[in-house]
Amino acid sequence: MNRALIIYSGGLDTTVCIPLMREAGFDAISTVTIDVGQPAEDIAQATERARILGTDHHVVDAKAEFARDYCFPAIHANADYFGYPLSTSIARPLIAKAAAEKAREIGGVAAFVHGCTGKGNDQFRIEYGLRMFAPEIPILAPVRERNLTRTWEIDYAERVGAPIGQSKDKIWSIDENLWGRSIEGGRLEDPSYAPPEEIFQWTASLEDAPSTPQVVEFEFEDGNPVAIDGTRYSPLDLLTVANRLAGRHGVGRIDIMEDRMIGLKVRENYECPGATLLLAAHKALEALVTTHAERAFKQHVDAQWAEMAYRGLWWEPFTGDLNAFIGSVQRRVTGKVRVRLFKSSLQIVGRESPWALYSEAAASFDDSETLEQSQMTGMVRTHGMESILFARLGKS
């Protein structure tokens, strides 16, 4: 039996892969949907479409693992890539890993199939993970390899009777997980086109957001958010609550120009309410407990971590090295942060920690004993001495 395992989202690209693989000679088609926090209706829709198309379908619930082992490390690294919290990219390694594990469980898989295009980043992320965990199984990417367009795929799906949700007029491509939601395609590809309200589902508009501010308190232990307003949650439940809180106030809408790995500059829209909120709180607490040298160096480490995560290189040794430093810092990122949410904005209004490197007495302008100001005279006189000497040489 010639079996293909399709990593299946239920969307246009992966749906057309099913009849295409049958035409290519595969007489057994398995599909696997990895649940990393998509809406329940999307998981149900993928399952129903797989049933209609007659595949051997599987759903892997990876939400708890994604929250604990992927989203929380992103918080530790303040993971931001040129303006948005990394969301799609950090889910792809887990999806690939889970698909490889499912292939071994099914047995006899002759090829992996994914629906990534040749213009996006996911082809790199997915295939890296598959080759890491199942290097002996070939990988097929029909949309990329056949240079298919969305319009062709829609026509083909209609011709063969494959169930799809897109039309030529409304052609949004949407990807969701616990950490964020991305929307692209159609008129959104025009950088001058204002995103219509219909593309947003997780965040309230400015008009619909509450007219009363809300202050939310987060508690962290070793860099991990563990409680909201005094109630402790599992990682999965905490992310769910954070998304709801921030989304209600319209926090987390992001519209950026993104530089893809292949060199394309594209316009991307994201909704990342919980991620935006948690990253801001974590960063505020981290600033309270780290030294100047640690903060300065960690900015570089965080940027490198984001670059590796964006490329999907989750198991690259360098990523492990970065995690070692980040993890060392997180041992002191314990305490509480209060955040004020109001009309699509957030503001840090308080932070406290037993590891705080802060002395109110020393910082106060009214204190004259903890730090005697006159002691600074000598330090100030030598400040910039080399540049002053250089200027004198130039005059002579």
SS (H, E, C) 78-141: CCEECCEECCHHHHHHHHHHHHHHHHHHHCCEEEEECCCCCCCCHHHHHHHHHHHHCCCCCEEC
| Domain edges within the chain | 3-63+82-172, 176-352, 370-395
Confidence of residue 234 (pLDDT cuts 50, 70, 90): very high
- Output the CA angle 177-180-183, nearest 5 degrees: 95
Catalytic residue among 122, 253, 332, 353, which? 122
* Separation CA 276–CA 252 (nearest Å): 6
Residue with token string 């609550």: 241
- The CATH number fitting domain 3-63+82-172, selected from 3.40.50.720, 3.10.20.30, 3.40.50.1370, 3.40.50.620: 3.40.50.620
Give Cα 183 to chain centroid, integer Å: 13
Active-site residue 30, yes or no? no
Of 40 and 365, which is predicted with more confidence?
Answer: 40
Q: Please report, rounded to a whole number, the percentage of residues in the chain having pLDDT higher than 70.
A: 95
Catalytic annotation, pick one of 49, 87, 89, 92: 92
pLDDT above 90: percentage of residues in the chain: 79
Average pLDDT over residues 96-100: 98
Q: How many residues does the chain have?
A: 396
Please determine, for residue 352, whether its predicted confidence score (pLDDT) is greater than 90.
yes
Q: Which of 35, 63, 61 is nearest to 235 (CA)?
A: 63
Give me the residues paired with residue 341 across strands: 214, 346
d(C-alpha 337, C-alpha 352), whole Å: 7
Q: Is the pTM of this model over 0.85?
A: yes
d(C-alpha 332, C-alpha 242), whole Å: 23
Q: What is the pLDDT of residue 28?
A: 96
Q: What is the pLDDT of residue 166?
A: 58
Q: How far is CA 122 from the centre of its chain?
A: 13
Listed in sequence order, the residues at least 6 apart from 129 whose beta carbon sits closer than 8 Å to its beta carbon are: 92, 93, 94, 95, 96, 97, 99, 100, 312, 314
Q: What is the pLDDT of residue 170?
A: 58
Amino acid identity of 250?
G
For residue 331, what are its two tokens? 């041992």
Residue position matching structure tokens 């480490």: 301
Catalytic residue, chosen from 13, 35, 175, 302, is: 13
Q: Give the number of other CB atoms < 10 A from CB of residue 359.
A: 11
Active-site residue 321, yes or no? no
Assess whether pLDDT exceeds 80 at residue 363: no
Residue 13 annotated among the catalytic residues of the structure: yes
335: left (phi over 0), alpha (psi -120 to 50) or beta: left
pLDDT at 24 over 90: yes
Largest CA distance in the chain: 88
Cα-to-chain-centroid distance, residue 194 = 23
| CB 357 within 8 Å of CB 289 | yes
Helix then strand then coil, in percent of the chain rounded to 5, is 45, 20, 35
Q: Is the pLDDT of residue 361 over 60?
A: no
Q: Which residues face 182 on adjacent strands?
A: 175, 270
Q: What is the pLDDT of residues 170-210, one digit of tens each?
A: 567 888 999 999 998 888 888 999 999 999 999 999 999 99
Q: What is the mean pLDDT of the chain?
A: 93
Check residue 187 and report its DSSP letter: G
Q: At a CB cut-off of 8 Å and minimum separation 6, what does 234 contact?
A: 64, 67
How many other CB atoms sit within 10 Å of the CB of residue 67?
Answer: 22
Task: Choose, from 68, 173, 187, 237, the residue flagged as catalytic.
Answer: 173
Among 280, 267, 271, 269, CA closest to 252 = 271
Mean pLDDT score, 317-331: 98
Domains 3-63+82-172 and 176-352 share a fold: no
Q: What pLDDT shows up at residue 124?
A: 95
* Catalytic site includes residue 56: no
Contact 338, 350 (CB under 8 A): yes
> Does the 176-352 domain belong in CATH 3.90.1260.10?
yes
Residues 349-358, mean pLDDT to the nearest whole number: 95
306, 326 contact by CB (below 8 A) = no
